[in-house]
Amino acid sequence: MAADHDLRILIVDNHDIARKGLAMLVSRQNGLSVVAEAGTAADALKKVRESVPDVIVMDTLLPDRSGIEVCRDICDENPNVKVLMLTSYGDQTAVVESIMAGASGYIFKKAQSQEISDVIRKADIGQPLIDPTIIADAQEHIRNRGENAIIATLTDQEQKILELMIEGQTNRKIASVINLRNDVIRDHVSNILGKLEISIR
């Protein structure tokens, strides 16, 4: 958490105009500094290592990988970095998957600049940004449809991992609880998200 210097922000969006526009809006806010931009998942992971941001604002849709998968990787490897997902208003699937990937919150793409800066600052100090009803909806959404649409397609181990994902646990934490290696958990998570995408879209 940055207390005595500008918050370091990484903006990740594959649309150049949208990314540069957002970077400009964020940079105009006192106490916020955009230290890097990225347009792909690979570039985002590289920039995280190089620029060491406090907060990442990342689109859910990237050309080479899902932003949500990248979010999970970042949260697992950099537990102190906060990730905010950019999503379209009303896209509940993206919101649910972002929560499960460990995102600190989400920003709707049509949000005003002051609203965006407020969310970034709250994320940095660890204030809850996810409406509790969204988490409840996520759990209800999966469980209600789970018996025949999702849970039936998951192994017992995947079901346990899914419960931990819903709680927002990182891969590292899940690996510790399940007693499996991180890379094995990552494979399970990819399988689960693939099944969820098929079932809830």
What are the CA-CA distances from residue 45 to residues 7, 72, 88, 157 (Å)? 19, 11, 23, 28
Are 86 and 69 contained in the same domain? yes
Residue 129's pLDDT is: 67
Domain count of the fold of the chain: 2
For residue 27, give both structure tokens. Answer: 């940079």
Q: What is the DSSP letter of 6?
A: P
How deeply is 156 buried, as exposed, middle or buried, from its count of CB atoms within 10 A (0-12, 13-18, 19+)? exposed
In a domain, 1, yes or no: no
In a domain, 59, yes or no: yes
The residue among 80, 99, 129 that closes a domain is: 129
Q: Please report, for the domain that includes residue 187, its CATH number.
A: 1.10.10.10
Q: Nearest CA to 65 among 45, 95, 84? A: 45
In a domain, 187, yes or no: yes
Q: Nearest CA to 26 among 121, 129, 128? A: 121
In a domain, 157, yes or no: yes
Tell me the β-bridge partners of 108: 87
Residue 45's pLDDT is: 95
Are 111 and 19 contained in the same domain? yes
Residue 90's pLDDT is: 59
Are 151 and 86 contained in the same domain? no
Are 140 and 114 contained in the same domain? no
Are 71 and 55 within 8 A, CB to CB? no
Are 85 and 169 contained in the same domain? no
* Amino acid occupying residue 81: V
Q: pTM, whole model, 2 decimals?
A: 0.70
In a domain, 2, yes or no: no
In a domain, 22, yes or no: yes
Tokens 């940095």, located at residue:
124
If one counts every other C-beta atom within 10 angstroms of the C-beta of residue 81, the result is 19
Residue 140's pLDDT is: 66
Residue 196 structural domain = 133-200
Residue 200's pLDDT is: 40
Are 122 and 181 contained in the same domain? no
Residue 198's pLDDT is: 41
In a domain, 138, yes or no: yes
Are 64 and 137 contained in the same domain? no
Q: Please report, for the domain that includes residue 105, its CATH number.
A: 3.40.50.2300
Tell me the mean pLDDT per 10 residues along the chain, length 201.
75 93 92 96 95 95 91 87 82 73 82 86 78 59 57 82 74 85 80 61 38
